[in-house]
Amino acid sequence: MTNQRNYLAVDLGAESGRTIVGTLDNDHLSLTETHRFGNGPVRLPDGLHWDVLRLWSEIKAGIGISSAKFDKHLDSIGLDTWGVDFALLDSQGGLLSNPFHYRDERTDGMLEEAFKRMSRAEIFSNTGIQFMQINTLYQLLAMSVQKSPLFDVAETFVTIPDLLNYYMSGEITNEFTNSTTTQCLDPRQRAWANPVLEAMNIPTHLFGPITDSGITIGTLRPHIAEETGASGVQIVVPACHDTGSAIVAVPAQNQDFAWISSGTWSIMGAEVQEPCLNDKALKYNFTNEGGVFGTWRLSKNIMGLWLIQECKRGWAQHGEDLSYDEITRLAFEARSFLAVIDVDDGGFLHSGDMPKRIRNYCADTNQTVPQSKGEMIRVALESIALKYRWVLERLEELIGKRLDPIHIIGGGTKNRLLNQFTADSTGRTVVSGPVEATAIGNVLMQAIGMKHLGSLSDAREVVRVSFEPEIYEPKRTSEWDEAYTLLQKVMNNVAGTLS
């Protein structure tokens, strides 16, 4: 006799969103994608925004399609998104402005402005988060510097998943894992870092109580239930930060593993029991984001497949709409180790002509300039893998132990060339999969919230028996070591010495 449960994961990424129903049947999980839709920035006169109203419309469509497909037998709904972005609500719960996109230029110069108000060391001690101009803290600081009138009427701060959970359930939450991405939360106190907010002249009254991951917050609002045919469905906050959900789905069998959540961004880290707030973590610009069940994610953001996505988008605008498979094939056939780039250089952050930026970077650092599309992508993929090695070495230094294997999860696992490059560059076994780690982790946290699973270890056992990983063994050569030495020189700004 089976005990089948259906959980709807709403998974929003920076490039696309989807609804996926996870069916748990006798501890075996299967996935059914029910709706997929595009996502991306919208340029308005005041800057780059997310189209959250369209996203909300697509979410409702996904709920309706899922409910119909599963004969209205949905146990719960959980939602996850990217981090750092937010919305402000008025006293009636109304949305005050379309949320900005984290790549909007208004945060240019805000790191320097923040350090005038509080030292880098003090900010890190109070938040434990790496310094990136996209962080919520600097978006809010930009509003403060520009004297945004929204602060005069705003009543409530919500991150993007909290906004959408509010639309679904009517409950305003500040889910823990996503709140930690803001650089506005104190990891020791698990409460908002008011000294930092006050130093930046950001109103502290906007920030409400923190909500734990993996709890139910109510049922789908009646008018949404009527519209979608999903009456009485429970709303569970999983790990609302997509990486937080994804790490739940790592099929690890030991504690000494590293993980990479591979997608538009790559995020590389380890699961630890306490935040790491020492001087080396500050020096290396690592971050401490909240995980589930008392864990922390000691990690670092790396500019991942964004470079490939932007190249693809630029070529499509000029009439060459290549698939990702075609682009990867061109890279596989291209000459290896033509040049290296620091993929985290600020020049690669914003939208634009990425092929030109890659060529300019190579020229400015006195390297061979890639010409063909395959050469361009190969340089980017090799450089991503080399940056993984750089981050891994520092991660192991912070933790004090060797991490092996490396688990790669998320949509980027489909790029098998990058997976092999990662093994070759780091000299570690790479375990790739599951591809849909974020949705899987979202579903499993719903199952825990609904008391259908008991623990994180139970959840990971479900992943191990339900999904077959791909294994990549390292084939490191002296060329990888030489390229890594070159990358370190590039990162240390000694371009004039490069041959």
| Ramachandran bin of 84, using left for φ above 0, alpha for ψ from -120 to 50, beta for the remaining angles | left
Q: What separation, in Å, do the N-terminal and C-terminal C-alpha atoms of the chain show?
A: 69
The active-site residue out of 80, 85, 162, 242 is 242
Closest C-alpha among 136, 137, 102 to residue 123 = 137
What φ, ψ does residue 431 adopt, rounded to 5°?
-105, 115
C-alpha 447/C-alpha 373 separation (Å) is 45
Can you list the positions of beta strands (E) in 361-469?
Answer: 406-409, 430-432
8 A C-beta contact, residue 418 and residue 427:
no
What φ, ψ does residue 198 adopt, rounded to 5°?
-65, -40
C-alpha 154/C-alpha 411 separation (Å) is 36
C-alpha 368/C-alpha 363 separation (Å) is 7
Q: Which residues pair with 470 in a beta bridge?
A: 432
C-alpha 344/C-alpha 346 separation (Å) is 6
DSSP structure string for 12-71: E-SSEEEEEEEEEETTEEEEEEEEEEE--EEEETTEEEE-HHHHHHHHHHHHHHHHHHTT
Collapse the DSSP code of 260 into the 3-class scheme (helix H, G, I; strand E, B; otherwise coil) and give the result: strand
Q: What is the 3-state secondary structure (H, E, C) of 274-322?
A: CCCCCHHHHHCCCEEEECCCCCEEEEEEEECCHHHHHHHHHHHHCCCCC
Output the CA–CA distances (angstroms, integers) from residue 215 to 77, 158, 236, 237, in the order listed. Answer: 11, 18, 6, 6
Q: What is the dihedral of CA 64, 70, 71, 73, to 10 degrees?
A: -90
Closest C-alpha among 400, 273, 378 to residue 333 = 378
For this structure, is 242 an active site residue?
yes
Catalytic residues: 242
